Structure 1
Amino acid sequence: MSTQTITQVTESIPAVLSLRTGTENNGQEAKQSSQDEPYRYAHLLPVFPRDEHYPPLTPFDHVDPGARALGHANPRAFLDNATSVIELTPHLGTEVHGVNLAALDSDGRDELALFIAQRGLAVFRNQQDFIDSGPDFYLEWGRHFGRLHIHPTSGHPDGYPELHLVYRDANTTFNFEVNDSLTPTVWHSDVSYELQPPGLTTFFLLAQPSSGGDTLFTSQVSALKRLSPQFVAFLKTLKAVHSGVEQADFSRSGRRGGAIRRDPVEYIHPVVRRHPVTGEEALFVNRQFTKRIVGLKREESDDLEVPLRLH
């Protein structure tokens, strides 16, 4: 059995869109991984060209498409044909049935961006039309929301470096894992070490085993709201270093295909960030990429940072 997901990352301020398809919509998908049938998504399997290199990312101006939706007569019009809209938790996540994302026009995509900014995570069921539209459509879709991000080390489908693949089969994994830990689960905000980290991720599932491989999401907006006002006021004075060096070294060692498409970078970000559309503030630290608090001694940084990072 195998698991394969595609992540498409659009750069700006963090939020997440989760699009799940495959076996949970069609029980026949799992059978396609058997040895006597061709794998339906073989054209999207990961490659790791070691001669693929890109220059450093350059700053760019970004306008969140959700801001345009604020001017619409009905910013939730894209949900008009939904058969159900269910809040998964009070503070994070909504599950939607009956909306075909592949059919959304420009206004609908703007409204979707606003919805994601407000709810943090949305799960859209039964999106086979989206999956079947193929990688050129995935790129067109992503560019509506901003500049696409090319991951510096992950696998991608041949010819489509903008698509980030999470892949594992019975014998192989190319995921970023810490081998000396009890669990490979590592909380993170996508490539937070970039100067302009991702603003929206379209995350969809191609194939999965019958159990396991769960993906968890958490709200850093909600986490910040649970802290005392005095502590939040202190956190707002701080900045933290986010680093891609460890991830690059992991790949350079050959354990992730050996691809290094761009030299690793480190950037400093505020510990508390504000969303440009909703105005909501969120903690911006994570276990995988946040390395230290600027201006504090190591022990002070560790004592403060460890409770803030999710374990």
Structure 2
Amino acid sequence: MSSVETITQVTESIPAALSLRPSAKSQENNAQEAQPTSQEEAYRYARLLPAFPKDEHYPALTPFEHVDPAARALGHANPRAFIDNATSIVELTPNLGTEIHGVNLASLDSDGRDQLALLVAQRGLVVFRDQQDFIDRGPDFYLEWGRHFGRLHIHPTSGHPEGYPELHLVYRDAKSTFNFERDDSITSTVWHSDVSYELQPPGLTTFFLLSQPKTGGDTLFTNQESTLKKLSPQFVAFLKTLKAVHSGVEQANFSRSGRRGGVVRREPVENVHPIVRKHPVTGQESLYVNRQFTKRIVGLKREESENILKFLYDHIDKGGDVQARVHWTPNTVVLWDNRNTAHSAIVDYGGSKERRHGARITPQAERPIPAFDGLDLSA
């Protein structure tokens, strides 16, 4: 079945069951660890601390037709008009990442947001500094912002601000962590594309920190278009014929074990995606596997699948020449395209006991488009 045939229903807004706010009863059931102590009452963003209502459950996601706002910007007379008055535009690397100063994201109109989406699709990663106005607009504004770029995803296991399940939070302090972290590895680097196990994973994503350590806690990004181009044409041609299973089961089990707040709001899913996908706006091809959620290659023997995936993961890990590192400073907002990048948090600040508190706005996009025409994505 093709992706067009799969997406049979236009669903521009989240179904009623998904838009429900937690009840007063559920508010009483939040994980106690996530509640601000008396010492934290003055914390500026206390209302955005993670909550984990125990009676919050949602049905399976339904397919919807995604219209990418970046495509609209292609028809604009000047697709970069929104940064014409920027005070500084710096390319972080030749092929990945642009840092911009002097543009207030909160003031962008619809055309400006379309143009932003196109720039993120083209550069993979765009960093905006001095965005206190955006961050201080609060959760209702965050939702309005995110819905411009697609249907908002409700994460099945992460914490969210009370009453705003569409906002994914990362949180770690001296006493607790509510992140999906592995403590049995020699490294905290785990490359991934957010919730790639969904049938329609995210496209453009917005992320910012509300509180951060004095040093450390950076985020690594890699350009999956460039990682693909590093491979030989013959091998890429073979990869284009392959599809892989992406699974949310491990993440759900991590929460069911009592960690990360201990909730599973929606039953975990597994979906099949092409190993090489094509961007719907730029037409560029990207490697689309990640160590966190990709589990096996469909149709190959176990040893064949494991060896190919290990090679690809090692290739991603070691590709320092196609990576960029975002150093967080206060009031920074970062946008990336999950379709052509992967990223990893760097947990190197645990010894400082400082808080790292971030919010992610995560619109879903289209079902991944195979770079190989006619690839059958049924399992």
| Counterparts of 2:242 and 2:234, CA distance in 1 | 14
Q: Counterpart of 1:242 in structure 2: which amino acid?
A: H
| Counterparts of 1:37 and 1:249, CA distance in 2 | 33
Contact 2:40–2:46 at 8 Å: present in 1 too?
no
Residue 283 (structure 2) pairs with residue 279 (structure 1): yes
Give the aligned partner of residue 292 of structure 1.
296
Give the aligned partner of residue 44 of structure 2.
40
Q: 1:116 aligns with which of 108, 115, 120?
A: 120
| Counterparts of 1:171 and 1:184, CA distance in 2 | 18
How far off is 1:37 after superposition? 7.3
| Counterparts of 1:154 and 1:34, CA distance in 2 | 24
Matches within 5 A, 1:99-248: 99-248=103-252
Please give the TM-score of this superposition, normalised by the length of structure 2.
0.72
| Counterparts of 1:77 and 1:34, CA distance in 2 | 47
- Please provide the CA RMSD for this pair: 1.7
SS at 1:262's partner residue? coil
Structure 1 residues 96, 295: CA separation in 2 closer, same or farther (over 3 Å shift)?
same
Q: Counterpart of 1:61 in structure 2: which amino acid?
A: E
Q: Deviations over 1:248-283 (max 9, x none)?
A: 000001111111010000000000000000000000
Q: Counterpart of 2:277 in structure 1: which amino acid?
A: R
| Counterparts of 2:184 and 2:111, CA distance in 1 | 47
- Provide runs of 4+ in structure 1 moved above 2 Å: 33-37
Give the aligned partner of residue 63 of structure 2.
59
Q: Counterpart of 2:263 in structure 1: which amino acid?
A: A
Q: Counterpart of 1:130 in structure 2: which amino acid?
A: F
Residue 276 (structure 2) pairs with residue 262 (structure 1): no
| Counterparts of 1:144 and 1:99, CA distance in 2 | 18
Structure 1 residues 97, 119: CA separation in 2 closer, same or farther (over 3 Å shift)?
same
Give the aligned partner of residue 312 of structure 2.
308
SS at 1:232's partner residue? helix
| Counterparts of 2:237 and 2:126, CA distance in 1 | 30
Please give the TM-score of this superposition, normalised by the length of structure 1.
0.88
| Counterparts of 2:50 and 2:187, CA distance in 1 | 24
| Counterparts of 1:302 and 1:36, CA distance in 2 | 47
How far off is 1:35 after superposition? 4.8
Q: Counterpart of 1:147 in structure 2: which amino acid?
A: R
Residue 97 (structure 2) pairs with residue 97 (structure 1): no
| Counterparts of 1:250 and 1:203, CA distance in 2 | 23
How far off is 1:184 after superposition? 2.8
Q: Deviations over 1:162-211 (max 9, x none)?
A: 00000001111011112211123211000000000000110111111111
Count of residue pairs the alignment pairs up: 281
- Seq. identity, %: 80
How far off is 1:36 after superposition? 8.0
| Counterparts of 1:274 and 1:153, CA distance in 2 | 29
How far off is 1:38 after superposition? 1.1
Unpaired stretches in structure 2, ≥5 consecutive residues: 1-11, 14-36, 318-379
